Amino acid sequence: MDNDHKRSSLQSSRRGFLVAAGGAVAGGSLVARSASAAASVEAGPAPAQNKVEPFFGPHQGGIATAPTQIQTYFAAFDLQTDKLDDIVALLRRWTQTAARLASGGAAAGQPASVLAYDSGETLDLPASRLTITFGFGPTLFEKDGKDRYGLKSKRAEAFIDLPRFAGEQLVEGQTGGDISVQACSDDPQVAFHAVRQLAHVGEGFVSIRWAQSGFFANSAGKTPRNLMGFKDGTFNPPVSSPEAMEKFVWVGGEGPEWMRGGSYVVARRIRIALQHWDRMDLGFQQATIGRSKYSGAPLGAKNESDPFDFAAVDKDGNSVIPLNAHVRLAAPASNDGAQILRRGYSYNNGVSFTAERWPPWRQGIEYDAGTFFICYQRDPRTGFIKIFDTLSKIDALNQFATHVGSGIFACPPGAQPGGYIGDKLFA
């Protein structure tokens, strides 16, 4: 593997990095900006397109990065090698390449020589706040009962396979994977470009198993609405709070050393029966979610960030927020205080044939669109798995939402300059 040109390009792009960011690349500015966020930490004013997000640091980018970039490209790779050394070489190369890309390498102002190793479609574009987040799938540690790389003993206790959930209709080719790579950016071309460069330099070692692009609307400081028209992401652990992040997102002393400062990601492609949804009247939609569609306020409340009053009943004694409303079942109060950091996107794959799984069991060509749900957590057992176990059984939303793709990955802490992503796992 000839890494020389990558190493030198990495150095030159580090210079570009400092220039592009005006010198203010410290994590501190991130915190300062986030601290002013209101109820929704996902939203925020549109940042400058040329903003560079740091690649190296205690945590990987793309988890607490705020505001969430409006575009993503997520790919799950299968390993094609049986040698641990190859994985280490791959991750070293990927780390160098990712650092170059995040810094705006192969972006505006780069010399023509970048085309010796880069596909070039971002040459005229700014860094666009690109982050690249790597994760390791369960099959890296054990596949079909086999300890493929001698890593089985290092698997974290918390890193369990996702159980089978009620109602899910997972497509095998859109599920799982040995390594995940998620690129987030404010430009779709920059996000896809990043994964593509990594896939290219990894050729012979990895092949893409599944990939999905995602987006949300740039709603300029307001909580973005999902394709169901509802504000999505209102209550999230605030990324500006180190305490909340330690408690709910970052792996601490309970985990193996290689995961401390990392986080577990669960990605679910959730197809939404949008035609079916659009036929429902506003009251039914609001009862399904448990919020007012227009304001985002919990039913019975006034403002988006008002607390839920799950005990409230109307004059007939019925719950104001129905017992099977999505927000009730997903709320920390219904899950022993469990919280996950949702960082979801919408997806839009055109249309395809489908059979709806609820009355009136319509079949036909429908939107292959919905939510590309992505969440980060300190422990999936007490995070996504705990919360979604109940949801998958009785959430009113289930008649519109079907999980068709899935992945769980252990995202190690950020790399340090000179090191590489996941290096403590392979040390």
Q: Point out which residues bind a copy of itself (CB under 8 A).
A: 49, 73, 75, 112, 115-116, 119-125, 173, 187-190, 192, 196, 199-200, 203, 207-213, 215-220, 222, 224-230, 274-275, 277-279, 282, 293-295, 346, 348-351, 364-367, 369
The 3-state secondary structure of 62-80 reads CCCCCCCCCEEEEEEEEEC
For residues 212 and 234, which CB has a smaller minimum distance to a copy of itself in the complex? 212
SS3 content of the chain, % helix, strand, coil (to 5): 30, 20, 50
Helices (H), 71-216: 84-102, 188-201
Which tokens sit at 20? 């592009």
Give the nearest distance from C-beta 311 to a copy of itself in angstroms: 26
For residues 128 and 335, which CB has a smaller minimum distance to a copy of itself in the complex? 128
Give the nearest distance from C-beta 191 to a copy of itself in angstroms: 9
SS3 163: coil
For residues 275 and 334, which CB has a smaller minimum distance to a copy of itself in the complex? 275
Alpha carbon distance 95, 271 (integer Å): 33
For residues 120 and 337, which CB has a smaller minimum distance to a copy of itself in the complex? 120
Give the nearest distance from C-beta 378 to a copy of itself in angstroms: 29
For residues 84 and 220, which CB has a smaller minimum distance to a copy of itself in the complex? 220
396 closest CA partner among 349, 328, 343, 342 = 328
Give the nearest distance from C-beta 69 to a copy of itself in angstroms: 14
Give the nearest distance from C-beta 258 to a copy of itself in angstroms: 29
288 closest CA partner among 226, 346, 345 = 226
For residues 154 and 293, which CB has a smaller minimum distance to a copy of itself in the complex? 293
60 closest CA partner among 260, 281, 272, 333 = 260
For residues 216 and 248, which CB has a smaller minimum distance to a copy of itself in the complex? 216
Give the nearest distance from C-beta 124 to a copy of itself in angstroms: 4
Omega prior to 360 cis, within 30 of 0:
yes
Give the nearest distance from C-beta 381 to a copy of itself in angstroms: 29
Contact 79, 195 (CB under 8 A): no
**CA 99 to each of CA 207, 235, 351, 414, 421: distance values in angstroms, whole numbers, following the listed order:** 21, 32, 36, 11, 11
For residues 121 and 314, which CB has a smaller minimum distance to a copy of itself in the complex? 121
CB burial of residue 288 (10 Å; 0-12, 13-18, 19+): buried
93 closest CA partner among 60, 64, 128, 134 = 134
Give the nearest distance from C-beta 314 to a copy of itself in angstroms: 20
Give the nearest distance from C-beta 41 to a copy of itself in angstroms: 17
Alpha carbon distance 198, 195 (integer Å): 5
Strand 206-215 to 179-185 pairing: unpaired
For residues 295 and 416, which CB has a smaller minimum distance to a copy of itself in the complex? 295
Contact 226, 109 (CB under 8 A): no
SS3 263: strand
For residues 29 and 80, which CB has a smaller minimum distance to a copy of itself in the complex? 80
For residues 8 and 29, which CB has a smaller minimum distance to a copy of itself in the complex? 8
CB burial of residue 352 (10 Å; 0-12, 13-18, 19+): exposed
Give the nearest distance from C-beta 347 to a copy of itself in angstroms: 9
Alpha carbon distance 310, 299 (integer Å): 9
Give the nearest distance from C-beta 71 to a copy of itself in angstroms: 9
